[in-house]
Structure 1
Amino acid sequence: MSEFKGAVVTGSSRGIGAVTAQLLAEQGIGVVVNYRAKAPRANKIVAAIEEKGGKAVAVGADLTTPEGPVALVDAAVENFGSLDVVVLNASGGMETSMGENYALRLNRDAQVAMLEAALPKMSEGGRVVFVTSHQAHFINEVSTMDAYDAVAKSKRAGEDALREMIPKLTEKNISFVVVSGDMIEGTITATLLNRMEPGAIDARREAAGKLYSVEEFGAEVAKMVFADVETGHTELVGGAGDFLEQSGK
């Protein structure tokens, strides 16, 4: 069982975040399951965790608002006694109804706001995990599909901004790890991209050799919460060979 007691997993009412939340709960960590609008979906994840003897609470919070990150931090401390782990999984930007610059507001500004809200309350020795994609992590060196370009650039901007906070985190012995994956089978982003650019998923699968499922990638994210790696480490999960080759890294 983990020595960590409380965690916030953003965007965890479905997909990768939900898998990660459930796996952390199996390690004895109390998890704040975050949703933006779909409470029933989040409550279902909480129920699944509690059925297995775990601890979780669903908290509705829009990370792009000033009060959203604070609500998640407070929920962890109040329900589980401490905040030791923050998994920055929530992302988006392909939505057309969320207003101008939504990708940047969510993928950069909200990530920083979440970590700034968490840092004063986080326990020493804690861990922050930022979840991204190869398409975003390597966007400065390797171009991506037109439909994903703005999202990829905003996620890379978020990663860069979070990395600039590493000295502050280090003062409290809190480590920061990036987990980067390829297109994930079954995610909304992959489905949307394939709709906009038919054949995109097949092309990535061929280039990578294999695409991870939501369950497989969520397991990798959860694993990196406990992994013995240096702060600032980037874990490239599957199929990054062609990105590394093109980027010259």
Structure 2
Amino acid sequence: MSQTLPPASLAGRTALVTGSSRGIGADTVRYFAEAGANVVINFRNKAPRAQKLATELEGLGVQALVVGADLTDPASVQEMFSEVERTFGSLDILVLNASGGMEGGMAEDYALQLNRDAQVRVLETALPLLGDDARVVFVTSHQAHFIRTTPTMPEYEPVARSKRAGEDALRELIPMLQERGIGFVVVSGDMIEGTITATLLERANPGAIADRRESAGKLYNVSEFAAEVARAAIDPIPADNTRLVGDTSSFQGE
């Protein structure tokens, strides 16, 4: 994996990525560590995988803290940030990457709990640790970001609407974040090849990925999209607080 952020550009800083034991989250946290940041690897139920990643990143000369937390449980979230405070004292980058809602056996409102309520709670709980010049990044998809104007696959619609609700709730906090000197960016990507969501959608709707790839011309893979998420943590903030990754020509504007 090539260097994505300038060497040592995050030296002395601390970054937490939710859902970072695998996939986009893991690659994002790896990019931060390669740039010199101490990192917090958050997982829900993949402790061995998270610990293996931490060991790898510590080999880069940074400190890696592994913290398990259920983001839908306020006490669990509070304990996660208490551990971050005990270890690092503060936080410079918070990436709200963990999401879901297509899992089986969950409560009917689970997608909304995780993709809206938990996202806001995580940010609000992190606020005391986020100082001037901190950056918050919310990761979403075009299918969710544009859901109000562009329909998506029926299997994904409840998740898309819950993620858009989360994005809207977080955007309402932008004035408060700006007063504190904290930047906020939404990173929206097209369907990402190799993610769990893409796999589940393909299972429910065979051919969906190939159809989208043909329509878009290219789909980003996990490491390519993670690089865009990592860059959003240091690049200038767009005027509309939105970084669109990949083709948007088939999505109607808001």
Q: Does TM, scored on the shorter chain, surpass 0.5?
A: yes
Whether contact under 8 Å (1:8, 1:32) holds in the other structure is yes
Q: Distance in 1 between matches of 2:191 and 2:127?
A: 30
Residue of structure 2 in register with 1:198 after alignment: 206
Whether contact under 8 Å (2:184, 2:237) holds in the other structure is no
TM-score normalised to structure 2 length: 0.93
Give the counterpart letter for 2:95 in structure 1: V
Q: Distance in 2 between matches of 1:96 and 1:178?
A: 27
Residue of structure 1 in register with 2:235 after alignment: 227
Check if 1:214 corresponds to 2:222.
yes
SS of structure 1 residue aligned to 2:159: helix
Check if 1:134 corresponds to 2:178.
no
Shift in alpha-carbon separation, 1:220–1:174, aligned structure 2, 3 A: same
Q: Return the match for 1:87 from 65, 89, 95.
A: 95
Residue of structure 1 in register with 2:247 after alignment: 239
Q: Deviations over 1:87-130 (max 9, x none)?
A: 00000000112222110000000000000101122111100000
Bigger proportion of residues as helix: 1
Q: Deviations over 1:178-221 (max 9, x none)?
A: 00001111111000100100000001101111111101111110
Give the counterpart letter for 1:210 in structure 2: K
Residue of structure 2 in register with 1:156 after alignment: 164
Q: Which structure 1 residue ranges, 4+ long, deviate > 4 Å from structure 2?
A: none
Unaligned 5+ runs, structure 2: 1-7
Identity of aligned residues (%): 59
Residue of structure 2 in register with 1:18 after alignment: 26
Residue of structure 2 in register with 1:187 after alignment: 195
Aligned length: 246
TM-score normalised to structure 1 length: 0.95
Q: Deviations over 1:61-94 (max 9, x none)?
A: 0000012222232232222231111100000000
Q: Return the match for 1:174 from 176, 182, 186.
A: 182
Q: Deviations over 1:19-64 (max 9, x none)?
A: 0011111122111100001100111111110122222111000000
Residue of structure 1 in register with 2:5 after alignment: none
Residue of structure 2 in register with 1:57 after alignment: 65
Whether contact under 8 Å (1:23, 1:222) holds in the other structure is yes
Unaligned 5+ runs, structure 1: none
Shift in alpha-carbon separation, 1:4–1:67, aligned structure 2, 3 A: farther
